[in-house]
């Protein structure tokens, strides 16, 4: 692949200012003779580009050699069509473990220590203490982390650090440090029944779509919480609303939804013990630096005739 110019698409602005990445990447790839520029996805802007770093997919990318997604999930990219068009697709798996791990730890602590309730009461200047049996501590509780890749690893580290015991679910039955028992997907329903927190960290694929539905929610303990930092489509959202309303589970912390932004009339906004965050579990002011490191390493590898980092297509 020949790389003369990389575009940074304006859609990355949802996560960081595009100019930050343009400047950083330009410095890092200058020696390799690669030019970096901001683009808006129009054919004119992309005309001299061989590659693009982006959040969104655009049809114009089918004429490029390489598309890099600043996210780990590539469910929004038409992988088959990119493959047919000989367009290389890479993702940013590996950079989110720390930020998402800390967000999940925050959810776990907020739900146990009732911090979400105090934050809500504060907006009404209300001094309301919890009932004597509402607050609890998490050490010694069990979590089940579904998906123990880059994201899952960061989550496992934080939860074990808080004293939780952790089980894991993945496709391959390979042990994972810090995870007591690793199960494969066929035993999902059985293992989530033991957990106080079920944390979803899998990609959205044909196999995972809707994999947490009515039966899985029924298999969870009625004092358990669902934490979804994967993709909204992994959970059957109407089954989740029903399970929350019927007290089949104790609550949820949700960063991702079937429809984003979460519509104003969604019942999830108002359900008790549900924390809603706007798909920002991975946000950190260092995000553009981490993306720059991955892309720079890929540029180096491509110059050496090797595969770029995190190739998906």
Active-site positions read 231, 260, 279
Number of chain residues interacting with ligand NDP (CB under 6 A): 31
Which string of x and - marks every residue 8-47 that binds ligand NDP (by CB under 6 A)? Answer: ----------------------------------------
Q: Which of 123, 172, 261, 285 binds ligand NDP (CB under 6 A)?
A: 172
Q: Which of 149, 232, 251, 308 binds ligand NDP (CB under 6 A)?
A: 149
Is residue 73 involved in binding ligand NDP (CB under 6 A)? Answer: yes
Is residue 160 involved in binding ligand NDP (CB under 6 A)? Answer: no
The 3 state secondary structure assigned to the chain is: CCCCEEEEEHHHHHCCCHHHHHHHHHHHHCCCCCEEEEECCCHHHHCCCCEEEECCCCHHHHHCCEEEECCCCCCCCCHHHHHHCCCEEECCCCCCHHHHHHHHHHHHHHHHHCHHHHHHHHCCCCCCCCCCCCCCCCCCCEEEEECCCHHHHHHHHHHHHCCCEEEEEECCCCCCCCCCEEEEHHHHHHHHCCCCEEEECCCCCCCCCCCECHHHHHHCCCCCEEEECCCHHHECHHHHHHHHHCCCCCEEEECCCCCCCCCCCCHHHCCCCEEECCCCCCCCCCHHHHHHHHHHHHHHHHHCCCCCCCECC
Residues 215-234 that bind ligand NDP (CB under 6 A): 229-231
Is residue 281 involved in binding ligand NDP (CB under 6 A)? Answer: yes
Q: Which of 170, 192, 292, 313 binds ligand NDP (CB under 6 A)?
A: 170
The residue among 36 and 169 lying less far from ligand NDP, judged by its C-beta, is: 169
Q: How far is the CB of 189 from ligand NDP (least distance, A)?
A: 12
Query: Measured at the alpha carbon of residue 138, what is the angle toward residues 136 and 143, in degrees to the nearest 5?
Result: 130
The residue among 35 and 75 lying less far from ligand NDP, judged by its C-beta, is: 75
Is residue 182 involved in binding ligand NDP (CB under 6 A)? Answer: no
The residue among 3 and 227 lying less far from ligand NDP, judged by its C-beta, is: 227
Is residue 152 involved in binding ligand NDP (CB under 6 A)? Answer: yes
The residue among 140 and 261 lying less far from ligand NDP, judged by its C-beta, is: 261
Judged by the rule CB under 6 A, the positions of this chain that interact with ligand NDP are 72-73, 93, 96, 100, 147-152, 169-172, 185, 201-205, 207-208, 229-231, 255-256, 279, 281-282
């Amino acid at each position: 692949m020949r790389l003369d110019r990389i575009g940074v698409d304006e859609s990355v602005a949802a996560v960081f200012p595009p100019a930050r990445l343009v400047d950083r990447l330009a410095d890092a790839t200058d020696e390799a003779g690669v030019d970096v520029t901001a683009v808006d996805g129009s054919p004119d802007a992309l005309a001299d580009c061989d590659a693009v770093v982006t959040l969104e997919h655009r049809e114009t990318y089918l004429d490029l050699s390489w598309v890099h997604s600043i996210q780990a999930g590539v469910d929004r990219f038409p992988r088959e069509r990119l493959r047919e068009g000989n367009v290389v697709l890479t993702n940013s798996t590996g950079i989110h473990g720390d930020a998402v791990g800390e967000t999940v730890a925050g959810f776990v602590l907020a739900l146990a220590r009732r911090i979400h309730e105090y934050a809500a009461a504060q907006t009404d200047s209300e001094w309301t203490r919890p009932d004597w049996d509402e607050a609890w501590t998490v050490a010694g509780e069990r979590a089940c982390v579904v998906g123990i890749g880059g994201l899952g690893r960061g989550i496992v580290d934080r939860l074990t650090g808080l004293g939780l015991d952790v089980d894991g679910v993945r496709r391959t039955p390979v042990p994972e440090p810090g995870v007591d028992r690793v199960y494969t997907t066929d035993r999902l329903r059985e293992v989530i029944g033991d957990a106080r927190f079920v944390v979803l960290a899998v990609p959205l694929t044909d196999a995972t779509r809707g994999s947490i539905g009515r039966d899985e929610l029924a298999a969870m303990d009625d004092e358990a919480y669902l934490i979804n930092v994967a993709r909204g489509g992994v959970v059957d959202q109407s089954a989740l609303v029903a399970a929350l309303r019927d007290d089949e589970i104790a609550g949820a912390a949700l960063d991702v939804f079937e429809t984003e932004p979460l519509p104003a009339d969604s019942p999830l906004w108002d359900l008790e013990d549900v924390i809603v965050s706007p798909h920002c579990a991975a946000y950190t002011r260092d995000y553009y630096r981490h993306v720059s490191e991955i892309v720079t390493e890929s540029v180096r590898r491509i110059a050496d005739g090797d595969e770029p980092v995190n190739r998906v297509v």
